[in-house]
Amino acid sequence: MAAGKGTRMKSRLPKVLHRLAGRALVQHVVDAARALQARKAVVITGHGATEVEAALAMNTGAAAEFGLNFALDFVRQEPQLGTGHAVQQAVPALADDGIVVVLSGDVPLTRVETLQALVAACGGTTLALLTIDFADPTGYGRIVRTDAAQGAVQAIVEHKDASEVQRAIREVYSGIMAVPAQQLKGWLARLDNHNVQGEYYLTDVVKLAVSDGVPVVAHKISDPVQVAGVNSPVQLAELERAYQRQGALVLMEQGVRLADPARLDVRGALSCAQDVSIDVNCIFEGRVELGEGVQIGANCVIANARIAAGAVIHPFTHIDGEKAGVTVGEGALVGPFARLRPGAVLGAQVHIGNFVEVKNSTLAAGAKANHLAYLGDATVGERVNFGAGSITANYDGSNKHRTVIEADVHVGSNCVLVAPVTLGAGGTVGGGSTITKSTEPGALSVARGKQSSLANWSRPAKIPKA
Ligand code: UD1
Ligand code: CA
């Protein structure tokens, strides 16, 4: 269900498209359905339907990646007449023989194991409700049993419809159920809106199941994070923290040394080999792999990158591989204040220092660019030293061209290498040169104005003020 408005987000963006850990809320829910090996997820949209559908459709392709048979379907609910009415819209998209798991697009952190247990409790014959005890159950549907504590579930009564006695019940419905599809369809057809809110309540299927003699079970969990919905920016931030804390604990259990688990954000998949350490305020996005003994300094943002064993990423480094990825070789040193962009491939023991940008370039083992440099569309050989302030001029205003710097070349400071150009192995380029022609191996190339000096020259004298 993802048709609701989400007024309290006070945002133009539909609520379910707000991001938690870098993924839309509803994407978490669809991914949970996929992890549950559902054959199909039917997303019920309404407010912002086109935006929600477009955002989710963009990610359906990813299912093939998992080798799963998973379909994504959309149905529209307009207007929104309640959760029962919402699920009624999905009926034509549901097969008769399956189990339907009803999820909310704004409840992102339900664990797959919890849903598996709920599906098992349903077993194709039982209506299984995910429930939880709340100290303050205000606003939630209450689980009404034959006798207060342990009896069979009789009904869910919405807060607004509940009597004082029912409002004292602390066991609430989470909004998540697993139900045999065929029975669900029959019950949905019998819902009415005779209640305080004048809505079609999905929760009324419980009464109908009871009157049909279909068993109803409550599968109670104790972790509120798994059933927490997002209605406001405050709740979104709280759930983000809960998610990040859990992820940080998992990493530390694997042996990763986090300087402070409260100052780490993983918005994607981070995998770490043994003896990785991560200082404070680092953000990891997309797919990031850290090899054995990798050290990440404070305040780094790293996305879509593979960093090999023993590499050290110094503070304030920004790495974003986007689609092409970034690779950092074994024992390489990067930063502080370095920027690695898509297609940067650094070999073993490469050094990239402060204010150096590398894009779509390969640096062979031992190459160094330690200060204030740009390497774009370049192939850099082993042990090359690329001087401070030097750049590859890879773009002529229309097209990009490659620069090839062969092994053991020394490029002095403040040089411009105008691509396409090749610097032969072992050559040297004098500081301040603009190189437009390829150079021979072993040659010294200098391309700058010749120095001239005027002996005993005096600076102009200061003109007295009038
Ligand atoms: C619902 C349950 C309540 C439960 C609570 C848990 C009903 C009648 N009540 O409450 O027992 O304790 O969830 O959070 O089901 N939605 C639609 N179309 C609609 C109405 C809602 O798609 O017409 C979606 C919302 O966007 C949301 C989800 O359904 O994702 C739940 O709606 P919400 O209004 O939050 O639930 P309540 O009715 O308050
Ligand atoms: Ca509501």
Distance 80 CA to ligand 1 centre (A): 11
- Identify whether the C-beta of residue 54 lies closer than 8 Å to the C-beta of residue 46: no
Taking each helix axis from N to C end, the angle separating 49-57 and 25-35, rounded to the nearest 10 degrees, works out to: 50
Separation of alpha carbons 45 and 137, rounded Å: 27
3-class DSSP state of 348: coil
Choosing from 159, 318, 371, 410, the catalytic residue is 371
Q: What is the torsional sign of CA 5, 6, 9, 14?
A: negative
Q: Starting from the CA of residue 229, give the closest ligand.
A: 1
What pLDDT is recorded for position 148?
67
Helix (H) or strand (E) holding 240: helix 233-253
Distance 231 CA to ligand 2 centre (A): 10
Q: Which amino acid is at 227?
A: V
Express each pLDDT in 97-109 by its tens digit: 999 999 999 999 9
- Identify whether the C-beta of residue 266 lies closer than 8 Å to the C-beta of residue 281: no
- Identify whether the C-beta of residue 316 lies closer than 8 Å to the C-beta of residue 336: yes
pLDDT over 60 at 20, yes or no: yes
Express each pLDDT in 122-149 by its tens digit: 999 999 999 999 999 999 999 999 986 6
DSSP state at residue 194 = -
Ligand 1 neighbours by CB, cut-off 6 Å: 1-4, 44, 46, 77, 80-83, 85-86, 104-106, 140-141, 156, 158, 172-175, 201-203, 229
Annotation marks residue 159 as catalytic: no
What pLDDT is recorded for position 262?
98
Count of helix runs (H) and strand runs (E) in the chain: 9, 35
Nearest CA to ligand 1 atom 21: 83
Express each pLDDT in 75-87 by its tens digit: 999 999 999 999 9
Distance 120 CA to ligand 2 centre (A): 28
Mean predicted lDDT score pLDDT of the chain:
96
Ligand 1, atom nearest to 82 Cα: 23
What are the two backbone dihedrals, phi and then psi, of residue 355, each rounded to the nearest 5 degrees?
55, 40
Separation of alpha carbons 358 and 339, rounded Å: 6
3-class DSSP state of 118: helix
What pLDDT is recorded for position 64?
52
The residue-averaged pLDDT of 41-48 equals: 97
Nearest CA to ligand 1 atom 29: 1
Q: Starting from the CA of residue 86, give the closest ligand.
A: 1
Best of 28, 83, 87 to mutate for ligand 1, by most ligand atoms within 8 A of CB? 83
* Number of Cβ within a 10 Å radius of residue 148: 11
pLDDT over 80 at 285, yes or no: yes
- Please, which residues have CB within 8 angstroms of residue 104's CB and are 6 or more apart in sequence? 1, 2, 29, 175, 176, 229
Ligand 1, atom nearest to 173 Cα: 12
Q: Starting from the CA of residue 104, give the closest ligand.
A: 1
The residue-averaged pLDDT of 181-186 equals: 98
Cα 141–chain centre separation:
32
DSSP β-ladder status, 351-359 and 339-340: parallel
- Identify whether the C-beta of residue 154 lies closer than 8 Å to the C-beta of residue 171: no
DSSP letters, 366-406, are: T-EEEEEEEEESEEE-TT-EE-TT-EEE-B-SS-B--EEE-
Cα 214–chain centre separation:
41
Half-sphere exposure of 446 (CA within 13 A, CB side): 7
